[in-house]
Structure 1
Amino acid sequence: MAYLTLETVEKSFGATRALDGTSFALERGEIVCLMGANGAGKSTLVNIVAGALASDGGRMTLDGAAYAPRSPAEAAARGVVTVHQSTDRLGTPGLSVADNLLLDGFADGTVPFLLSRGSVRARAALMLRRAGFELPLDRDFADLPPAERQLLAIARAVARDASLLILDEPTASLSRREAERLYAVLGDLRRRGHAILYISHRLGDLEALADRVVVMRGGRIVHEAVRPIDFDKAIEAMIGRSIHAVRGADSAVSGPPVFSLQDVRLRSGALPLDLDIARGEVVALSGVLGAGKSRLLSAIFGLHPLASGTMLLDGKPYRPRNPRQAIDSGVFMAAEDRHRSSLMPTGWPGSTIAGTIGLPHLARWFPAFLTVGARDLTEADSAIRRLGIKAGSGRAGMETLSGGNQQKVILGRWEAEPCRLLLLDEPFQGVDVGARADIIRAIRSNSRRATLIATSDPEEAHAVADRIIELDHYTLRPKQAVERSDIQGA
C-alpha cells in the first residue's frame, strides 16, 4: 500500500472547483514532481495534504490509517511537513541558525528555554548531522542565502521525523550551484526512505530529481510518467495543447533590430550568443535553472559586464556601466524578486502605487526635486485603468495589493516612459492566472518596443513569446530556437 493516498478528493471555492475528484498516491523513498499551470489545483491539493485546508469530499490515508489533518501542526505531528517557496517564511531574522533550528522544540516544549549557548549549538549540530549537511550555526538567519534557508527548513523537518516532505518551488530563488546542493540533500533523504512531494515545472528540477511526474490541469490529474520521462508530453499535458501552439494577440513585428547581441559571452570560455530583437517582438529565454537567463538580462541592464562581445541598441554600440545609463538609453528591467529590487519597504516614501511607478523617473519628472504636477499620481491612475490593477487610487500602498497586482504596477512603471527594450525576469512568478492573462495582454499589445523575457516556465514562454530561445547552461548559447511560425504550427 502507498504511504500517502488521496481518493476522489474534492474542493470548491464558491463556484470554482479547484479539485475535481483527484486521486493520487505517493510511496516512501520516492520523489514525485507535481506539475501544473497556475490554477491547476496544485496549491489546493498541497494545502489539503498539509492541513491548511479541509477537503469537501473524498478520503486520504497516511501509512494505512485515515488522515484528515485540521492544521499544519496536526499534519506535522503525523510526519507531514511543508517547506514553502518564500524563503522569508522559513525562519526568524534576528535569531541565529542554531536558534532557528530549535524553534519547533521551543514552541512545543520539547526543548527547554533555559539552555546554555553551548547546549543550543550542540543540539542544532546534531539536527544538521541527522539531515546530512552543515550550516553556519552562529550566523543570523537574515544573512543566509536562499539555499541555506531552504536547507535549514529541511533540517527542521527531518528533526520532526517528517516522513513526508512537501517542497513548494524550492529552487525558484536558487542559483544553479545552490540547486544542485539541494538536489543532493533530497537524493539522500530519498535513499533513507523519506517520501517527497516536489512542486515544480522547472525542467532542471524534473530531470535531476523526479522518479515520477504527475501533471494537474483543471483540478484533475491528467498525466503521469515514470523514468525515463518524456518532458514534451508532460508539458503538453500541463498546458493543454501542443508545445508548438501559442496564445495571445499577434504583435506587430517590424523593421530592423531594436537590439542585437553579437558574439556575446557571459563568461570566458563559453560559446558565443547572437540575437536580434525587432520592434514589437517578444522573445522568451527559456532553459533550466542556471542557464544564464537572468545573468544575460542583468548584463544588458548594466548590472555587470559581459566577458566579451558587442551589444547594439538601434544600430549603435550600447554598453551601459550601470542601470541609470541603461534607463537613460530606454532600456528598462523588472527583476525577478520584485520585493527586493522594485518595492520600497512599507511605510517608506515611495511605498505607494504612485511612488513605485515614479521612483526611477523622479529626476526626469521632478527636476530640482520640485514635486510639482503630480505626474506620478497621473501615471499611477492611468496604469490602474489600463492594466486592471485592483486599487482605489495611486495613493494605495503596495502592501495592500496581491502579487499579481504588484507585478502590474511594476509593468506600469516601465510603460510610463518611452521604452526601446523591456527586460522581464520571471515576470509571472507569484502571479495568479487572471493577473497573468492581463500581464501577457499588456506585454503583447505594445508595438513600440522590443521585449526580452527570462522564464523557467515553458507554459509562460509559449503563452507570451513570438520566439523562444532555450539556453544551455553549460555553453550559454541558443540550444534551440522556436520561431513564431513553428509555435503556431503554420
Structure 2
Amino acid sequence: MAFGGKTVLASVSLDIAPGSVVALLGANGAGKSTLIKILSGVRTDHGGQVLVSGEPAALQSPLAARRLGIQTVHQRIGEGIVPGLSVAENLVFEELAQRRGNPFLDGRRLLARAREIQSALDLGWSDALLRQDVTELGISDRQLLILARALATRPRLLILDEPTSALSAAEAERLFALVERMRDDGIAVLYVSHRLGEIDALADRLVVLRDGRLTQDQARPFDWDRALRAMLAQEQGAGTARPTDGNGGTGDVAVSLRGVPLLPGSAPQDLDIRAGEVTGVVGLLGAGKTELARGLFGAEPFTEGVVELDGEPFRPRRPADAIRRGVHLVPEDRHADALIPGWSLARNISLPFLRSLSKAGLVSHAKEDRQGRDTIERLGIVARDEHSTVEQLSGGNQQKVVVGRWLAESPRVLILDEPFRGVDIGARRDIGRRARALAADGSAVVVLSADVDEVLEVADRVVVLAAGEIRLDAYGEDAERDRVIQTLSASV
C-alpha cells in the first residue's frame, strides 16, 4: 500500500488471538496508523485481506468494523466526542446513532444506560456530571469516556492507540487492570504505544513495524535491545556518514538550562546548547523532547528553573517573545501548528516577520514575494512559484516551507521537532544540509526525533531523553548507534 509514491505498508501479516494483548511498536511513519485505519474500516484501498474468526471480513466502513466486533480508541481524543451533547449522550452515542425510534430519547432511560456504560471503568460520575455538556470534561475524562463507550459493545478486538497519553498515573493503572480483565475475558487487544514500560508490563506479544514492514515479532520475555534496533536502527552501513565539523562542545553556550523539569514530576535537568553545532535529541513519545522544544519557544513556558540565552535571562511567556530573541521552532505537527491552508507559499513564510516586511503598517508584497522566491531556491522547494498554495505541495515540500520560514531571518537558535516526519529521503537530506549550514554559520541548532538514524545523520552531539531525564549526552564515537539504542532500551 502506497501514498504519494511512498510505501506505507508492505505485505504485513498479523494474527491476533482471542484473550491476548499484542503490542504494536513503531517510529513515526512506520505504518501503524495505516494498519489501524484498515482494521477499523477507515481505509479500504489496501488490496489485502482481513479475517475475523477465520472468515473473510469486508471492512468497508467504521460501522462495518464495529458490527464485526472491532472497536478502536483513536489517539486523537477530539475525534471521539460530539460537542453539544451531554456526557450521557456521548456515552450511549453509538446506540443512539444506530436505532430508529430510539427509546433512549427518554431522558431517564438514557441516563440509566449511561450509568451502566460508565460502570465498566468504575468512573463514578454523578448524574449531574452526566447531564453536563461533554466539552466541560477535562481531556483525561474524555479519554475515559471513549474507552467506556468502546467496552460497552463487548468487542472481539479492541484497538487502543496511545491510550494513556492523556491519563494520570492513577487513571493509567485503572486502564491496565481493565486490559488484563479483558484478556481474561477472551477479548483480543491491539495495544499501540511508545511507552515501553507499559508494553513490558501488559503485552503477551510484541510486533514492530518499520517503513511499512513487520520487522520483529516476539513473545515474552521481550528482548528490548533487539526490538529497538528493529524499530529505530538501519542495518550497519545503511546510514550516512556522521558530521565531523562540529566544535565538540567547545563553542559558546547559546542556551543554558539549570534545574528545569521537562515533565510534571520529573527531576530537574541541566542542559547547555552550544552555538556552531547541531544538538540531536532522541526520545520516544513521552520522553520530554517536545516539552523541551515548546518550553524554549514560549509555547508552553517552563514553570521552574533558570534559562539563559547568551548569558542573559530568557523566560519567554509566548512565542513572540522567543522570536524577538532569535529563537525559532519548526513544530512537530506542521498541519496543526505551522501551515495555514489556502495561503500561498510566500505568505506562509512571511507570517512571523510581517513587521520587517511592512512600512506604515502595510505589508510590501514585493518583499514578501522575493522572500518566497529566495526560500524556494535556497531549499530546493518544488513548486510552480511563490504564489502556489501549500496544499499544492507534497509533504516533503510543505516541510521545507516550514523550515524555510524560520531561516528567512537568521535565527540565533533553531529548534526542529520531528522535522523529517512524512518526508522522503531527498527532502530529509535537504533539510539536514540546511541545518548543518546554519550551524556552520554560528547558530545553535537542535534536532529532536524519535528516530535514531535521523539524528545520527545530522547531529554533532546526541542527547538521549527518557521520562524527562537526560540519560546520555555525548559527541562523536561516544554517541554511536549501539550506545544510543542501548541507552533507550535500558530505560524500559
TM-score of the alignment, normalized to the shorter chain, above 0.5 = yes
Tell me, yes or no, if structure 1 residue 80 matches structure 2 residue 70. Answer: yes
Contact 2:243 2:459 in 1 (8 A): no
Residues 321 and 125 (structure 1 numbering): CA distance in 2 closer, same or farther, change over 3 Å? same
Match of 2:222 in 1: 229
Contact 2:27 2:450 in 1 (8 A): no
Query: In 2, distance between residues paired with 1:316 and 1:416?
Result: 25
> Mapping of 1:158-173 within 5 angstroms?
158-170=151-163
Q: Secondary structure at the match of 1:22?
A: coil
> Mapping of 1:171-320 within 5 angstroms?
183=176, 185-217=178-210, 219-241=212-234, 247=240, 250=243, 252-254=245-247, 256-261=251-256, 263-266=258-261, 271-287=267-283, 289-302=285-298, 303-309=300-306, 311-320=307-316
Q: How big is the shift at 1:488?
A: 4.3
Match of 2:148 in 1: 155
Contact 2:233 2:452 in 1 (8 A): no
Residues 182 and 463 (structure 1 numbering): CA distance in 2 closer, same or farther, change over 3 Å? farther
Residues 420 and 70 (structure 1 numbering): CA distance in 2 closer, same or farther, change over 3 Å? same
User: What code does the residue aligned with 1:81 have?
Assistant: Q
Match of 2:464 in 1: 470
Match of 1:3 in 2: none
Residues 300 and 69 (structure 1 numbering): CA distance in 2 closer, same or farther, change over 3 Å? closer
Contact 1:176 1:290 in 2 (8 A): no
Structure 2 residue aligned with 1:33, among 23, 34, 37? 23
- What are the Cα deviations for residues 351-402 of structure 1, in whole angstroms up to 9, with x where unaligned? 5443332222122322432212443333334434544556544445556666
Contact 2:349 2:401 in 1 (8 A): yes
- What are the Cα deviations for residues 297-326 of structure 1, in whole angstroms up to 9, with x where unaligned? 3332344245233x3433444344543332
Match of 1:71 in 2: 61
- What are the Cα deviations for residues 39-95 of structure 1, in whole angstroms up to 9, with x where unaligned? 6444444344333325535x5432343434333322211101233333332233333
The percent of aligned pairs where both chains have the same amino acid is: 39
Query: In 2, distance between residues paired with 1:102 and 1:452?
Result: 46
User: What code does the residue aligned with 2:120 have?
Assistant: R
Q: Secondary structure at the match of 1:256?
A: coil
Tell me, yes or no, if structure 1 residue 371 matches structure 2 residue 363. Answer: yes
Tell me, yes or no, if structure 1 residue 127 matches structure 2 residue 117. Answer: yes
Contact 1:201 1:457 in 2 (8 A): no
Query: In 2, distance between residues paired with 1:322 and 1:16?
Result: 37
Contact 1:246 1:488 in 2 (8 A): no
Residues 404 and 119 (structure 1 numbering): CA distance in 2 closer, same or farther, change over 3 Å? farther
Contact 1:353 1:397 in 2 (8 A): yes
Structure 1 residue aligned with 2:47, among 56, 60, 64? 56
Contact 2:27 2:451 in 1 (8 A): no
Residues 15 and 272 (structure 1 numbering): CA distance in 2 closer, same or farther, change over 3 Å? closer
Query: In 1, distance between residues paired with 2:367 and 2:313?
Result: 32
- What are the Cα deviations for residues 101-137 of structure 1, in whole angstroms up to 9, with x where unaligned? 3332233226717713443333223222235446653
Q: Secondary structure at the match of 2:15?
A: strand
> Mapping of 1:272-421 within 5 angstroms?
272-287=268-283, 289-302=285-298, 303-309=300-306, 311-338=307-334, 341-343=337-339, 351-387=343-379, 389=381, 391-398=383-390, 405-421=397-413
CA RMSD of aligned residues (A): 3.9
Contact 1:105 1:111 in 2 (8 A): no
Q: How big is the shift at 1:219?
A: 4.5
Q: Comparing both structures, which one devotes a greater share of its residues to strand?
A: 1
Q: How big is the shift at 1:237?
A: 1.3
Q: How many residues align?
A: 471
Tell me, yes or no, if structure 1 residue 443 matches structure 2 residue 435. Answer: yes
Moved more, 44-53 or 409-418: 44-53
Match of 1:4 in 2: none
Query: In 1, distance between residues paired with 2:369 and 2:349?
Result: 9
Q: How big is the shift at 1:420?
A: 1.2
Q: Which runs of 5+ in 2 are unaligned?
A: 483-492
User: What code does the residue aligned with 2:89 have?
Assistant: D
Q: Secondary structure at the match of 2:14?
A: strand
Tell me, yes or no, if structure 1 residue 93 matches structure 2 residue 83. Answer: yes
Q: Which runs of 5+ in 1 are unaligned?
A: 1-10
TM-score normalised by structure 1 residue count: 0.79
Residues 370 and 317 (structure 1 numbering): CA distance in 2 closer, same or farther, change over 3 Å? same
- What are the Cα deviations for residues 199-233 of structure 1, in whole angstroms up to 9, with x where unaligned? 34443553454332112345542222233322221
Q: Secondary structure at the match of 1:46?
A: helix
Contact 1:390 1:405 in 2 (8 A): yes
Query: In 2, distance between residues paired with 1:229 and 1:126?
Result: 38
Q: Secondary structure at the match of 1:35?
A: strand
User: What code does the residue aligned with 1:50 have?
Assistant: S
Q: How big is the shift at 1:330?
A: 0.8
Q: How big is the shift at 1:439?
A: 4.2
